[in-house]
């Protein structure tokens, strides 16, 4: 998972139009006047609905629930990118440990999914009901355990919502140590607490964040769909880059994830459309239903690629990247199709193997020429000063996958706006350190795309969609 503290910096109006046979996208730059905004209650009472048997939850950027929206200085923006880089490096280290055997144990619904900007992150949030109360959590396909901060809490970060109190939930009960549920979740014979009853858990994330507590079970409501005895983490000791969200929803592939726990209900199918980082933008998390369901608002047909099997890395969703086009020009590199890439809703910036990134960067610079260069920011090394321009034409970026799957990167996902006056923007792609590391497709490039995960059919689908709820 990738947790990246982030405060609104995108003060540009972005308008997408087509030109040059769809090989360019127009980015119209216009400053927006933003004023101080108080906490928005709607961020913590997001909408849900059911359509054609699907449960739909609204999604938003989590930073949009933090209150004030202010410009961020360059040093802070740089730190945000550094934090994301720390998280990705840790993923690579964890993957190597797992492969080498050094493993640490531990119906259909459509839900609104929202930008996390007000909760200080470029991650996305949904609101669910746990134990009878609404809870706002980060959506993460790279994690398995769903957890929330619980009281009494020994160490908790600040959150606008009240802490979850298991003692007042009539449907809550502990997961007993040495039970089959505890053993499945933590491995071996379970992690027993001091009273030899609690099933303890510890999850450490790549950016230094962590959550510790005991496992519990409670009644979970996703839109209009109820899930009985849902296993989750009751976090008593939590610290890190979670912004102001109350916890995290794990949509990974292990037995503990929400997708696995609800497999009989939703059939292992879910999808999302991640909105852009605009204050009132919202997308949707759809749980269940046919992967070709009519409830999507996609503007292009869904194209599919198979999930790669990786028994050593069961949490992640792997795809085979076979090509990239920039402005309609196919990038030539021998690295395509040789190893799987992770697609992740928690990582922000897409990471490419060095040789592929070098080729992509070179072609982008050929087509996006004539603009003054700017110093790079951390992992982002291809930067420009666009402050003198009203609008620019940006080459269309498309990613091709095995079997004909294709994802066109939305215009909002091609350039990363470092400064709100457009005096510093960067190509929103970065290079891994080494070619043998595993690439990651981040959420910044997935915006305004319907991404469909069908575990039963072992496939992932893509279609263009203007995210709205």
Which are the catalytic amino acids? 140, 344
Round to whole Å and give the CA distance between 234 and 1.
19
Q: What angle do CA 279, 118, 418 make, to 5 degrees?
A: 75
Cross-strand bridge partners of residue 411: none
Cβ–Cβ under 8 Å, residues 8 and 70? yes
Cβ–Cβ under 8 Å, residues 364 and 326? yes
15: DSSP letter: -
The edge-to-edge listing of strands for the beta sheet with 391-395 is 18-19, 24-28, 391-395
Residue 118, Cα to own-chain centre: how many angstroms? 15
Query: Measured between alpha carbons, how far is residue 55 from residues 75, 130, 141, 372 in Å?
Result: 41, 16, 18, 48
Cβ–Cβ under 8 Å, residues 181 and 199? yes
Round to whole Å and give the CA distance between 8 and 278.
9
Cβ–Cβ under 8 Å, residues 410 and 16? yes
CA dihedral over 95, 350, 232, 455, signed as positive or negative: negative
Closest Cα partner for 425 from 364, 344, 356? Answer: 364
Residue 269, Cα to own-chain centre: how many angstroms? 17
């Amino acid at each position: 998972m990738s947790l990246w503290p982030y405060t609104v910096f995108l003060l540009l109006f972005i308008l997408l139009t087509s030109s040059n046979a769809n090989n360019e996208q127009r980015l119209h730059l216009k400053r927006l006047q933003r004023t101080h905004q108080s906490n928005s209650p709607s961020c913590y009472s997001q909408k849900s609905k059911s359509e054609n048997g699907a449960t739909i939850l609204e999604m938003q950027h989590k930073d949009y629930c933090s209150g004030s929206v202010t410009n961020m200085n360059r040093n802070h923006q740089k730190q945000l990118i550094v934090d994301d880089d720390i998280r990705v490096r840790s993923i690579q280290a964890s993957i190597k440990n797992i492969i080498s055997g050094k493993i640490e144990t531990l119906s259909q619904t459509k839900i609104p999914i929202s930008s996390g900007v007000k909760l200080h992150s470029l991650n996305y949030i949904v609101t669910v009901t746990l134990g009878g109360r609404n809870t706002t959590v980060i959506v993460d396909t790279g994690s398995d355990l769903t957890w929330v901060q619980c009281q009494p809490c020994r160490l908790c970060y600040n959150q606008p919502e009240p802490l979850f109190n298991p003692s007042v939930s009539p449907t809550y009960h502990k997961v007993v140590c040495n039970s089959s549920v505890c053993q499945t979740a933590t491995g071996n014979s379970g992690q027993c607490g001091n009273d030899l009853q609690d099933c303890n858990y510890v999850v450490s994330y790549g950016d230094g964040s962590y959550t510790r507590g005991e496992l519990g079970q409670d009644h979970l409501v996703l839109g209009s769909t109820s899930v009985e005895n849902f296993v989750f983490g009751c976090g008593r000791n939590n610290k890190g880059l979670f912004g102001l969200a109350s916890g995290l929803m794990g949509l990974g592939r292990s037995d503990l994830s929400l997708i696995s726990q609800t497999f009989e209900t939703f059939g292992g199918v879910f999808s999302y459309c991640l909105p852009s980082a605009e204050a009132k933008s919202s997308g949707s998390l759809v749980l269940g239903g046919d992967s070709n369901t009519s409830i999507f608002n996609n503007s292009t047909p869904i194209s599919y690629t198979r999930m790669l099997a990786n028994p050593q890395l069961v949490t992640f969703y792997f795809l085979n990247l076979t090509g990239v086009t920039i402005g309609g020009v196919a990038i030539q590199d021998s690295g395509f199709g040789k190893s799987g890439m992770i697609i992740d809703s928690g990582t922000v910036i897409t990471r490419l193997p060095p040789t592929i990134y070098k080729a992509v960067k070179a072609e982008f610079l050929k087509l996006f020429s004539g603009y003054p260069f700017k110093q790079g920011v951390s992992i982002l090394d291809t930067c420009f000063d666009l402050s003198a321009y009203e609008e620019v034409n940006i080459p269309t970026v498309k990613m091709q996958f095995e079997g004909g799957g294709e994802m066109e990167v939305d215009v909002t996902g091609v350039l990363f706006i470092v400064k709100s006056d457009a005096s510093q923007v960067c190509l929103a792609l970065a290079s891994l350190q080494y070619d043998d590391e595993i690439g990651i497709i981040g959420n910044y490039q997935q915006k305004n795309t319907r991404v469909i995960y069908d575990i039963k059919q072992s496939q992932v689908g893509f279609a263009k969609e203007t995210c709205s709820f």
